[in-house]
Structure 1
Amino acid sequence: MSVREVAVDAYREALPVLAASAVGGLFAGVVLGGMQAELRRVSGLLVLVPALLATRGNVYGALGAKLSSALHQGLIDPTFDPDDERLVAALTAAMANGVFVSLFAAVVAYGTLVVLSRPVASLATLVGIAAIAGLLSGVALTVVVVAAVFVGFRRGLNPDTLVGPVVTTTGDVFGMAMLLVAARTVLALGGG
């Protein structure tokens, strides 16, 4: 295969996903713009936004890369099998890492804002929001990443090409949407 053919294939596979990524990023921005009331009520919530979105990409991008490598090596089949210990272990580890890093981000944000003498909601409020957002967005990202990698692989696409844009887009869209849901839930329960 020539360099030109490889480049054409890469663009053919990636451009539609990258276009969807741009639209998804705009949607995430619209959600953030609609969170003004929550951002005012929960001091420090805005500090969590970049940390939570970045960690979605890191954790679930790694999951997608592991699944892609396992498919290329023939270690797993491109179908969801709940009896496949390798697959279940990878999904469980990604979910646990996603929630843990969300909690860690909340604690660091709280500590940083306290040290800087900036207004900040209670630690319980930030941790509650981060935990709910981390869990809900993690479930959504796990489903989307597994589906994108497996379906792409079965259709002859390189899942390595799909993982980055899919995780970025899904992480931004679901990350912001679930952060909004989490903030409203915690506020409704009396946090903040």
Structure 2
Amino acid sequence: MTGTVGVFALQGDVREHLRVLEGLGVRARGVRRASELDECDALVLPGGESTTMAKLARTFELLEPIRHRIGAGMPVLGTCAGMILLADRVRDGAAGQETIGGLDATVRRNAFGRQVDSFETDLDLAGLDDPVHAVFIRAPWVEEVGPGVEVLATAHDHPVAVRQGNLLATSFHPEVNGEDRVHRLLLDLVQR
């Protein structure tokens, strides 16, 4: 793949995503400013704290540029908090919580419980031959999807991986255990 994949670098699992992308031979960079976003062909919104990430995106004047690029078709992978940021609707969010939006889904924050309720499991993910080892840390889940959203995987009877057009989102953290196949799905969207 030629081009650059950016990782939203104001908060969250930035280094872990950069490491996975670089391991795939991709030019990857942290994104903190709109000028850095302009150099990217795709973006990863990492796990972290969704309310903090949204506030920082607003403060650093990245919210509207990311929304614009999503609307223009830029492929984006959101993991955990990144899924929340991509969702059009959030349940159990902080008062006035803002999202980037674009994914026609309702996501519940911390749906699986608190930090102590974090868990790992193997998931069948549509399009992949072998299960993905998924790490869930204070993870959200999807409660409702619009007609254009494809459910790729479920856990505890709720969608935990979805795709809509150029957007891919997971409740889990593929970056923490070296799993690179979810990132490969993002790269497939870039190649299209």
TM-score category (smaller protein): under 0.3
Flag the structure with more relative contact order, 1 or 2, with Cα contacts below 8 A and sequence separation at least 6: 1
Bigger strand fraction:
2
Bigger helix fraction:
1
Could you tell me the TM-score, scaled by structure 2's length? 0.27
Select the structure of larger CA radius of gyration: 1
